[in-house]
Structure 1
Amino acid sequence: MTLILEEGKEVAINQHGPYALIAITKHGVELARNLHTKFQQTDLYYMSKFERGDEDLRNISLFEGNVRMLLPSLFKTYKGIIMIVSLGAVVRMIAPLLKDKKTDPAVVVIDDKGQHVISVLSGHLGGANELTNEIAELLQATPVITTASDVQKTIPVDLFGSKFGWVWESAEKLTPVSASVVNEEHVAVVQESGEKKWWNYDRPLPETIKVYQTIEEALQAKPNAALVVTHRNLKENEKQILNNGVLYRPKVIVIGMGCNRGTSAEEIEQVIFDTLNELGYSIKSVKAICSIDLKKDEEGLLAVAQKYNWEFTCYPADELNQIEMSAPSDTVFKYTGAYGVSEPAALLYSGAEKLSLIKKKSGNVTISVAIIPN
């Protein structure tokens, strides 16, 4: 496929992988073709004057015109863009396209000889730093990463816990808290739930980053900044920790649920909202809805799980019956073959020894809540 690039016109992109790889010189094309073979998640683009004749077979796209006119379409389409173009030229070309670090794609630059791989844009949130290291390893090149937290091997605040699925409550304090971390100020970490193995380096945690058992203990230490990891909503006297702090939501809440056939998604969603509010838990920390396999096609449950991107796991009755229940029900057994649904389902998935909410009946819905132990 050959793309004709014209000023002001959109280009139809034939996307296969998440990354675009671009070359505009003879040596760059050689390097790009080699990398395209090793890193098959890329779609390769280069100028038609370097055509070899095997482009259609290898799903390589050719273009005629200035590469600058190709970039707007690539920015909208790809997770990341790898360019074998001089760094200065890339900076000038992408400058008008930049919008927000939370949405801009990763941009990585490789020099014409493949000696250096440079992370240029969206190093953390966009994954350019990780992509840079991956490509450098494939090419036996030197990765160039300038993000302070990576260079200093400390906590990247905007990615803290992201490999586990943690999300921040608000992005408002990401920048000042990051500054406190890289400037080696006193930073408190308070973790009440979630995965414990978040420190990625083979050396001790920096002395300026201190772990406290409670928010109250951290506040007494008067840190410059704080990272708080919890599934619960903070109390009024705890919220001051977020004056220069980021609140992270680990995916630890498991909702066990049974319902009458045909219960609407709206009713199920409202019961979940109300229940979490009563418990003082954040909906952002929900990981999964669990039920009995008779409910695996229940439209209301499926719709809510899909809306929030939660896992939906169902268990056969004999597995549920192996879990000790507080109040086994002969009535439930009569209709489902299990002595309970919401309570054992939540315990099975979470691996918890006890439930935060044993069982609550609300309208057409029965709900139990468990927290995955850390």
Structure 2
Amino acid sequence: MSAKKIAIYALTSQGLTLAYRLAGRLDGTVYASRRLEPEEAMPFDSLSDLVSATFHAFEGHVFVVAAGIVVRCIAPHLQSKETDPAVVCLDQQGEFAVSLLSGHLGGANELAARCARAVGGQPVITTATDSVGILSVDTMAVSKGLVIGDIGHIKAVNMALLEGQTVHLHDPEDWLGLAWDTSFVGVARKEDWDCGKPGIWVSWHNDCPEAALALHPRVLHLGIGCRRDVSTYEILDHVNEVFKRYGLAMESIASVGSVEAKRNEPGLLEAAHEFGVDPVFFSTAQLAAIRVPTPSDRVQQHMGVPSVAEASALRASHGGELVVTKEKTDTVTLAIARSSRA
């Protein structure tokens, strides 16, 4: 969690003193009741009105406020465990830092521990796996940078771990680092998967068995060449079609790359936004230095390089390999490279 995206709230003078201590360690933004006449904090009149504006603008919220007040303030803004930010509540003495919301996916358990260390208090973690010293699968996934497919399958896996059951695991590249863990039974092939048991399937393909928890490493780098004024729809449609044809997971998209001349192409920029990544652009010199399997005289003539899509994908993957050579429509050219495990 980025410390710069943490909001800290105080309603009392003692709470404000604690909030300043937290801000010094967390690099957070402090909000304080206007009646305290705060000099180094953002003043507010109504905490509930303030939270309405800040709740989804920050990744984490730390309240030096009574838990009941906090619950009433955040309740109208809760959406899902996938998107809700972390919420931590501290008492005025800083004795306890309670992970109140989004303990695993939002990082509130970690934030509570950081708050406790900052003020010499005790973190209070109530999520079941953490309370018995078992690392939850959602925490593992987040820590390894994996994208969770269907969040609804997390509960079954965590419950199995809590009850000491064996969990199936397909993770041939050992993204989770659990090859040594006897709580998991390695399954190499989909044909050997027992759909009646909880399990985790880690893959950059769209091949997860039914009812398994799919986790996707972000390893696929898209290289895109396009006509001027191409629409976002044309790019998205082509990418979706190619991914479906090759059985690739959209959740594994790590980047979208193209030539520098496309930096201001609205359709390409919007497509990257839809994929949840920032676009990267390369100079013609950078792309010309990449050897590609299918160079094009036409691209050389128009763009000054023998390849845009394949070269951009390879360049973005930092030494990876092409898994899809260029696939073309009348307006969009797409290539996909996979970055190395390292």
TM score, norm. by length of structure 2: 0.84
Q: Report if aligned partners of 2:136, 2:158 keep a CA contact under 8 Å in 1.
A: yes
1:117 maps onto 2:97 in alignment: yes
What residue number does 1:7 align with? none
Shift of 1:47: 7.0
What residue number does 1:20 align with? 8
What residue number does 2:188 align with? 213
Shift of 1:168: 2.2
Shift of 1:77: 2.0
1:163-211 Cα shifts (integer Å, max 9, x gaps):
4543222222222222112222111221256xx55459xxx96421234
Q: Which runs of 5+ in 2 are unaligned?
A: none
Q: Please, which moves more after superposition, 350-359 or 334-343? A: 350-359
Aligned letter for 2:54? Answer: T
Q: Residues of 1 paired with 2:305 and 2:221: CA distance?
A: 19
What residue number does 1:333 align with? 300
Q: Percent identity?
A: 25
1:53-93 Cα shifts (integer Å, max 9, x gaps):
5x2x3134264xxxxx6336415523444333455x45774
What residue number does 1:3 align with? none
What residue number does 1:5 align with? none
Q: Residues of 1 paired with 2:328 and 2:80: CA distance?
A: 45
What residue number does 1:308 align with? 275
The verdict on how the C-alpha distance between 1:102 and 1:254 changes in structure 2, with shifts beyond 3 A counting, is: closer
1:100-145 Cα shifts (integer Å, max 9, x gaps):
4445443322233222222122212332212111111211222221
User: How do 1:63-82 residues align onto structure 2 when only pairs under 5 Å count?
Assistant: 63=45, 70-71=47-48, 73-74=50-51, 77-78=54-55, 79=58, 80-82=60-62
1:225-269 Cα shifts (integer Å, max 9, x gaps):
1111112122xxx62xx33x2112222221112122222222222
Q: Report if aligned partners of 1:19, 1:41 keep a CA contact under 8 Å in 2.
A: yes
Q: 2:138 aligns with which of 155, 158, 161?
A: 158
Highest Rg: 1 or 2?
1
User: How do 1:74-223 residues align onto structure 2 when only pairs under 5 Å count?
Assistant: 74=51, 77-78=54-55, 79=58, 80-87=60-67, 89-90=68-69, 93=72, 97=76, 100-163=80-143, 165-191=145-171, 196=174, 198-199=176-177, 206-219=181-194
What residue number does 1:275 align with? 242
Q: Report if aligned partners of 1:257, 1:366 keep a CA contact under 8 Å in 2.
A: yes
Aligned letter for 2:28? Answer: Q
1:247 maps onto 2:214 in alignment: yes
SS at match of 2:151: coil
Q: Residues of 2 paired with 1:321 and 1:62: CA distance?
A: 55
User: How do 1:344-355 residues align onto structure 2 when only pairs under 5 Å count?
Assistant: 344-351=311-318, 353-355=320-322
What residue number does 2:28 align with? 41
The verdict on how the C-alpha distance between 1:197 and 1:138 changes in structure 2, with shifts beyond 3 A counting, is: farther
Q: Residues of 1 paired with 2:340 and 2:10: CA distance?
A: 46
1:256 maps onto 2:223 in alignment: yes
1:267-301 Cα shifts (integer Å, max 9, x gaps):
22211111111111122222222222222222221
Q: What is the alpha-carbon root mean square deviation over aligned residues?
A: 3.0
Q: Report if aligned partners of 2:20, 2:30 keep a CA contact under 8 Å in 1.
A: no
The verdict on how the C-alpha distance between 1:317 and 1:99 changes in structure 2, with shifts beyond 3 A counting, is: closer
Q: Residues of 2 paired with 1:233 and 1:47: CA distance?
A: 52
Q: Report if aligned partners of 2:202, 2:214 keep a CA contact under 8 Å in 1.
A: yes
Q: Report if aligned partners of 2:321, 2:339 keep a CA contact under 8 Å in 1.
A: no
Shift of 1:308: 2.4
Q: Which runs of 5+ in 1 are unaligned?
A: 1-15, 64-68
Q: Residues of 2 paired with 1:232 and 1:208: CA distance?
A: 25
The verdict on how the C-alpha distance between 1:142 and 1:197 changes in structure 2, with shifts beyond 3 A counting, is: farther
What residue number does 2:324 align with? 357
TM score, norm. by length of structure 1: 0.77
Q: Please, which moves more after superposition, 273-282 or 148-157? A: 148-157
Shift of 1:356: 1.6
Q: Residues of 1 paired with 2:75 and 2:318: CA distance?
A: 50
Aligned letter for 1:132? Answer: A
How many residues in Structure 1 have an aligned counterpart in Structure 2? 334
What residue number does 1:322 align with? 289
